Chain A
Amino acid sequence: EAGVAQSPRYKIIEKRQSVAFWCNPISGHATLYWYQQILGQGPKLLIQFQNNGVVDDSQLPKDRFSAERLKGVDSTLKIQPAKLEDSAVYLCASSSRGANIQYFGAGTRLSVL
């Protein structure tokens, strides 16, 4: 069974530029999560989707971050414009409906200069 796929693995941009990350969850997993992991900290949930609907986006900085999950499969997370403090690893995870085990992708390491 293929795992959670994320791309790109690394991205370097300058502040005020925009960037997008892509995630393909495990086949059949209805729930998809985006996390931000700053160096030395645990993951922080940004947004949770159930199929293509948003369940929780309370910690998503909506003035600059957006996410979508069209058709309830792939998802993209966008930052526009980026700030220095957005430098972090962005993790995507998925789980089957009602399950409490999440499976993570390798993450995208973003550096904002």
Chain B
Amino acid sequence: GDSVTQMEGPVTLSEEAFLTINCTYTATGYPSLFWYVQYPGEGLQLLLKATKADDKGSNKGFEATYRKETTSFHLEKGSVQVSDSAVYFCALSDYDRKLIWGLGTSLAVNP
């Protein structure tokens, strides 16, 4: 069945450092790919999405490119801030529109 694999955390960075969180997927069809973020004590928020190969999703300085050849959707940000500290989830949605989730990657950014 479909699955999502994310790099394990926690990830600890200093402010203004470059961030990469790896995500790879397995799917039988042509899924849509998502990054959701969960700030402490809050629900999940959609951060960005991509619906087809080579699409780039971007929001709040974060980017991720849908790479069909490597089945990846890595999340990147050029300069992280303390306010980016959160748990990041990679997910896919296939033909049935159900979300398949990764386990989440915790990010802590120190000033």
Q: Which residues of A contact B (CB under 8 A)?
A: 4, 6, 40-43, 45, 48, 56, 91, 93, 95, 98-107
Collect the chain B residues with CB atoms within 8 Å of residue A100's CB.
32, 93, 97, 99
B57 to chain A, nearest CB (A): 12
Q: With the chains together, A23 CA to B78 CA distance in Å?
A: 37
Q: How would residues 65 to 93 of chain B score, 1 for a CB under 8 Å from any chain A CB and 0 otherwise?
A: 00000000000000000000000010101
Contact partner, A43, options B34, B49, B93, B101, Cβ 8 Å = B101
Contact partner, B103, options A40, A95, A105, Cβ 8 Å = A40
Please determine whether B98 and A91 come into contact, CB atoms closer than 8 angstroms: no
Residue with the greatest number of chain A CB neighbours at <10 A, chosen from B34, B42, B89, B99 = B99
* Interface footprint category on B: 20 to 34
Please determine whether A56 and B98 come into contact, CB atoms closer than 8 angstroms: yes
B71 to chain A, nearest CB (A): 18
Q: With the chains together, A103 CA to B34 CA distance in Å?
A: 12
Q: With the chains together, A104 CA to B38 CA distance in Å?
A: 10
* B110: interface (CB < 8 Å): no
Q: With the chains together, A4 CA to B43 CA distance in Å?
A: 10
B58 to chain A, nearest CB (A): 16
Collect the chain A residues with CB atoms within 8 Å of residue B41's CB.
106
17 extra A-B contacts, CB within 8 A, seeds A43-B99, A104-B36: A42-B91, A42-B101, A42-B102, A42-B103, A43-B101, A56-B98, A98-B97, A99-B97, A100-B32, A100-B97, A100-B99, A101-B34, A104-B43, A104-B44, A104-B45, A105-B43, A107-B43
* B17: interface (CB < 8 Å): no
A92 to chain B, nearest CB (A): 9
B64 to chain A, nearest CB (A): 15
Collect the chain B residues with CB atoms within 8 Å of residue A6's CB.
43
Please determine whether A106 and B93 come into contact, CB atoms closer than 8 angstroms: no
Please determine whether A48 and B46 come into contact, CB atoms closer than 8 angstroms: no
Please determine whether A42 and B89 come into contact, CB atoms closer than 8 angstroms: yes
Please determine whether B43 and A106 come into contact, CB atoms closer than 8 angstroms: yes
User: Lowest 10 CB-CB distances: which A-B pairs, in order?
Assistant: A42-B101, A104-B43, A100-B93, A104-B44, A106-B43, A100-B97, A107-B43, A105-B43, A42-B103, A100-B32
